[in-house]
Amino acid sequence: MKTLIVYYSMYGHVHKMAEAVAEGAKSVPNTEVAARRVPETLSQEILSKMGAIEAQKAMERVPVCTVDELATADAIIFGTPTRFGNMCGQMKQFLDATGGLWAKGALVGKVGSVFTSSATQHGGQESTILSFMITLLHHGLVLVGLPYSFQGQMRNDEITGGSPYGASTIAGTNGERSPTENELEAARFQGRHVAAIASKLAR
Ligand SMILES: Cc1cc2nc3c(=O)[nH]c(=O)nc-3n(C[C@H](O)[C@H](O)[C@H](O)COP(=O)(O)O)c2cc1C
């Protein structure tokens, strides 16, 4: 049973959420978990202008995903920052290279799930996850979200990400906010939930 976490993170928020997703998935017996970044498409010069160099260094140790690796997993959990309410270009470019897998039906029947991060509370977390799922449906993945059995998404006593569509965090307009314990718990729940469903399907 292999769960692959495939993500892009510019400033580290999605990266922190990915670590929590991995923790959750690892807690399911007989589950192998691997985290991968999608390839960068921006030059060092642009990344520098965007103030992303330090954060990128902290993620260097995470191996870069290849398209063929997707076919080796039983479940794939994707993470992307919001870009105008959609997935980021790096992730889109990676997925646009999966035509060969699509032609072979290589991802049909695998479990798919998505988590995200946005700068603002209503800046497009739900639209990012839902629009991402269109691509996953074209590939024939079985979609899994974040059910309300994760009760942390019901709370109103603090600002929090997380919806039935998937875990999320609010990064702040200058990236100054870190994922809260509730948001990380949502990510752990999602990882655990996806891996458990993939195990049941494998049986
Ligand atoms: C080109 C661009 C578009 C963005 N669009 C949105 C947006 O529509 N809504 C929003 O809340 N944040 C938006 N953001 C902010 C990012 O979502 C935010 O930096 C990201 O969630 C932080 O995650 P990371 O640290 O993993 O990169 C945008 C950022 C960039 C660079």
Determine which residue's CA is closest to atom 25 belonging to ligand 1: 11
84 C-alpha to ligand 1 centroid (Å): 7
> Can you list the positions of beta strands (E) in 111-167?
111-118, 142-143
- Could you identify the residue written with the tokens 């646009």? 96
198 C-alpha to ligand 1 centroid (Å): 30
For residue 53, which amino acid is it?
I
Written as one string, the DSSP assignment of 159-196 is ----BTTB-EEE--TTS-PPPPHHHHHHHHHHHHHHHH
- Does residue 182's CB lie within 6 angstroms of at least one atom of ligand 1? no
- Does residue 170's CB lie within 6 angstroms of at least one atom of ligand 1? no
28 C-alpha to ligand 1 centroid (Å): 31
- Binned at pLDDT 50, 70 and 90, residue 162 comes out as very high
Atom of ligand 1 nearest to the CA of 81: 21
**Rounded-to-integer distance, Cα 195 and Cα 6, Å:** 14
Residue to substitute in 19, 82, 125, 126 for testing ligand 1 pocket (most ligand atoms within 8 angstroms of CB): 82
pLDDT of residue 199: 96
How many Cα atoms within 13 Å fall on the side-chain side of residue 200? 7
Closest CA to 34 of 69, 59, 58, 80: 69
Cα distances (Å, whole numbers) of residue 203 to 1, 71, 83: 10, 19, 38
3-state secondary structure of 125: helix
0.95 surpassed by pTM: yes
- Does residue 89's CB lie within 6 angstroms of at least one atom of ligand 1? no
pLDDT, one tens digit per residue, over 95-108 is 999 999 999 999 99
pLDDT of residue 98: 98
Determine which residue's CA is closest to atom 27 belonging to ligand 1: 10
Determine which residue's CA is closest to atom 31 belonging to ligand 1: 83
Instruction: Please determine, for residue 203, whether its predicted confidence score (pLDDT) is greater than 90.
Output: no
